[in-house]
Structure 1
Amino acid sequence: MTDSRRRRMSGGERREQLLGIGRALFAERGLDGTSVEEIAAKAKVSKPVVYEHFGGKEGLYAVVVDREMALILEAVTAALSTEADYRRKLELGAMALLEYIEESTDGFRILVRDSHSGPGQGSFASLLSEIAARVEHLLGKELDHQGYDEDFAAMYAQMLVGMIALTGQWWLGTRRPRREDVAAHVVNLAWNGLARLEERPTLDPRRRAKERERRERRQEKAQAKAEKARERALRRQPLQPLEEVAPLEA
């Protein structure tokens, strides 16, 4: 097709094209490793077009980061806002983060790069703090319901979000096991603690109930077995002779 017949992109279409190209390059090479020349070349435009839309690669990078932060915050917030019990909310929140990592890998790679945004707006740390702030209210209600001090909700929210996010970073490179299994195991640890881990964590509440019933039956059998062993041990013990009792004086 000749240039005369090729449809000219509108300003909005060109902007989206540049954002897509920049997003892929920033994910692969970071801000320092990406140049305006390379962005322009891939878009088949001149450098001034990039400057016209974003003022430079830094402006393009900032828009990409803002979009990714909005996407992940929207997903996690929607998960935590569902009408469900507290454990289910945590499961859905973990799944939302893992789904974002799996389906928006380039975006997540950009967000975990803190070298240019530092501790301020737009950094991965600030993103996690925003998510934690939305989790804090949920945890505060649960802590109060369980009789614990809800003043610690902010700290627990940071712990929980950090655990899920760091697990997500690790999972980004392995993609095994499945994201549903990763979410189930993360919530298993967060909800039950190391002392009461479930053997086969799952996101399915019906399967979880069956596993709980099986675990309780095993515990009952173990307790019954231990009780029978104690009874057998007692029966094997020799009888102790009774002490002589002095006759009563008349």
Structure 2
Amino acid sequence: MSGGERREQLLGVGRALFAERGFDGTSVEEIAAKAKVSKPVVYEHFGGKEGLYAVVVDREMDRLLKAVTDALTTDAGYRRKLELGALALLEYIEESTDGFRILVRDSHAGTGQGSYASLLSEIAAQVEHLLGKELDQQGYDEGFAAMYAQMLVGMIAMTGQWWLETSRPRREDVAAHVVNLAWNGLGRLEARPGLDPRRRARERERRERRQEKAQAKAEKARERALRRQPPLAPGEIAPLEA
């Protein structure tokens, strides 16, 4: 096995052990035994457990940052970019479960890495300028881009932690519901959110037709009520409508 291949093997072994047991629960002895090498081989490639852990964390962060950034820089509308960004994070969680479990643990002080919250802040910093451009185009103050980036990344990341343990519903449905809340707010939630813009357009048309029918029905009811009112006596003033 070449030096590069051995290094990749140790990274894979360490990644799996760190995900299962955490930094403090994993020893160099376990890493070496799992890889079927001696302890000095681990020290030769990484200088110790801390160096191996730092490389694992850096790789996972790079992979996650690239996935989210690629999604947010696609040629799509504002809402679609948010959907793709949420979906990218959820895809990472589902397809790189060990990596996500490592990131959600508080990183060990000896590695120079921060806590999960600081890692999320780094992700948010990567997308802040993208959100700033979108906010400016939508007529909002781009000075709030940093705050909105923290809100969006935090909301999706916390939902991702919950979803990692439940595995339900599908990641596409989770992304649709998260963006539904972020886009519409609690006061205007869509009953059946989805990632397909054509489906949303059809749902919007149906909702508008229902609203028009409801307004027409209310207008007819008001007209019937007015017709049932007794005629005004001479000099009587009609009451104001509520």
Do these two structures clear the TM 0.5 threshold for a shared fold by scoring above it? yes
Match of 2:39 in 1: 47
Q: Deviation at 1:125?
A: 2.3
Q: How many residues of Structure 1 are paired with residues of Structure 2 in the alignment?
A: 235
Match of 1:140 in 2: 132
Aligned with 2:5 (options 5, 8, 13): 13
Match of 1:125 in 2: 117
Match of 1:93 in 2: 85
Q: Deviations over 1:35-71 (max 9, x none)?
A: 1111111111111111111111111111100110010
Match of 2:52 in 1: 60
Q: How many angstroms apart in 2 are the aligned matches of 1:55 and 1:146?
A: 50
Q: How many angstroms apart in 2 are the aligned matches of 1:70 and 1:162?
A: 18
Q: Deviation at 1:156?
A: 1.1
Conserved 8 A contact 2:11-2:52: yes
Match of 1:80 in 2: 72
| RMSD of Structure 2 on Structure 1 (CA) | 1.6
When normalised by structure 2's length, the TM-score is 0.92
Conserved 8 A contact 1:72-1:97: yes
Match of 1:104 in 2: 96
Gap runs ≥5 in structure 1: 1-8, 245-250
Paired AA for residue 148 in structure 1: Y
Q: Deviation at 1:139?
A: 2.5
Q: Deviation at 1:149?
A: 2.1
Q: Deviation at 1:72?
A: 0.4
Task: Give percent identity, aligned residues only.
Answer: 88
Larger Rg: 1
Q: How many angstroms apart in 2 are the aligned matches of 1:166 and 1:73?
A: 17
Structure-to-structure mapping, 1:144-159, within 5 angstroms: 144-159=136-151
Query: More helix by proportion, 1 or 2?
Result: 2
Structure-to-structure mapping, 1:210-225, within 5 angstroms: 210-225=202-217
Q: How many angstroms apart in 2 are the aligned matches of 1:192 and 1:128?
A: 24
Match of 2:176 in 1: 184
Q: How many angstroms apart in 2 are the aligned matches of 1:117 and 1:215?
A: 53
Match of 1:27 in 2: 19
Aligned with 1:240 (options 232, 235, 242): 232
